[in-house]
Amino acid sequence: MRNKIATNDLAVFGGEPCFSNKLHVGCPNIGDEQAMFRRFHEVLERRWLSNNGPCVQELEEKLAAYTGVKHCVITCNATVALELAIRALGLTGEVILPSFTFIATAHALQWQEITPVFCDVDPLTHTIDPKRIEQLITPRTTGIIGVHLWGRACDVEALAEIAHRRKLKLLFDAAHAFGCSHRGKMIGGFGRAEIFSFHATKFFNTSEGGAIMTNEDELAHRLRLMRNFGFEGVDNVVYLGTNGKMNEVSAAMGLTNLESLPAFIRINRSNYELYWRFIKKLPGIRLVSHNEEEQSNFQYIVLEVDESVAGISRDTLIEVMSAENVMARRYFHPGCHRMEPYRSYYPNAALLLPNTERLCRQVMSLPSGTATGADAVTDICALLKFCLQHALEISERLTDCPRKKLALVA
């Protein structure tokens, strides 16, 4: 890292960036390349590239075993997985979910003309607040979608109790939570179904992909039909469906990356612990912690920036760090309720989402994973410390000079 002695040394003011290459949040983890190429070669030799090939079948079996769930239905991506699960469960009318989530969670409902009803989140866990759900239930409500964030589970038991008592269907968006547990049980088997994302940015990825996990035989059968146009057999369509299949190359990558899962988690945990040692000393910065009693993938390095204490805003920090090639991200700015079409449908939604609004102003995520080594983590933390030490000067200089606005990121 290039040392920063004065604010003029910052790249945002014309200095040289700390890092010559960009450090991204969610830079893809890649397993054993030779093993991956061998699997790719086998796929090509078989000339079976899609339509429930051997790699897809093997990956489904291994993921089901890893999570302890009866059925794993792999899909081309997690958004399609959400859409399939929502339709297979027969959700209609209104479904309650947090606004503090990736937009796909809401879109998967709206795409099927189901109304997303946004619920506020718990200020500490960042997950949907069960105490606020009851007031949102109407005669049109048919379900609840809980979203596990940062590898930490929702209050599963409270959500299950509400769903059972009010006769609602419960499913979980577990995009962040593969490899994590809740009360000693691996995430994947809660609710009627749970959806994983295996997108390139996730710590376990298939380049692009997703999965629906369920312990219900009939639901799994229906999902498999829906994933493949409703085909049962060669030319017998028995159900309404779409094309949600994963290809063999993605599945081969998944099988290879699955073998490297312990190494990915070990590196993530090491980075998290190093960040923790530095950041716990910084005023106005809170690092979202992981429960040491549970298994975690330790993927996300999530900070809350309290400007009133830190002396600098989250957005200003991101602007400064991005210029230094530390591509920190705003999660999940500005909140689903402030994105289209929802901001037009519900212009006053923010009044009922005070915790969501605060988190959308304060939360940021830092690089980690196999592409971010210990030296880089140390330098990122030193940069953070420098920014806080010169918070007032940096903020005043950036306020006074014209600059590009931050791009919206999710």
pLDDT digits (tens, 9 = 90+) for 241-259: 999 999 999 999 999 999 9
How far is the C-alpha of 185 from the C-alpha of 195, rounded, in Å?
A: 16
8 Å CB contact between 22 and 327: yes
Question: What pLDDT is attached to residue 400?
Answer: 79
Whole-angstrom distance, CA of residue 360 vs CA of residue 59: 36
User: Token digits for 261?
Assistant: 């899962």
* 193-197: strand order across its sheet: 71-75, 210-214, 193-197, 169-173, 141-147, 94-98, 115-119
Phi-psi region of 129 (alpha: psi -120 to 50; beta: other; left: phi over 0): beta
Q: Specify the pLDDT at position 402.
A: 58
Residues of the chain with pLDDT under 70: 1-2, 402-410
pTM: 0.95
Domains and CATH numbers, the chain: 7-28+261-328+367-400 (3.90.1150.10), 33-259 (3.40.640.10)
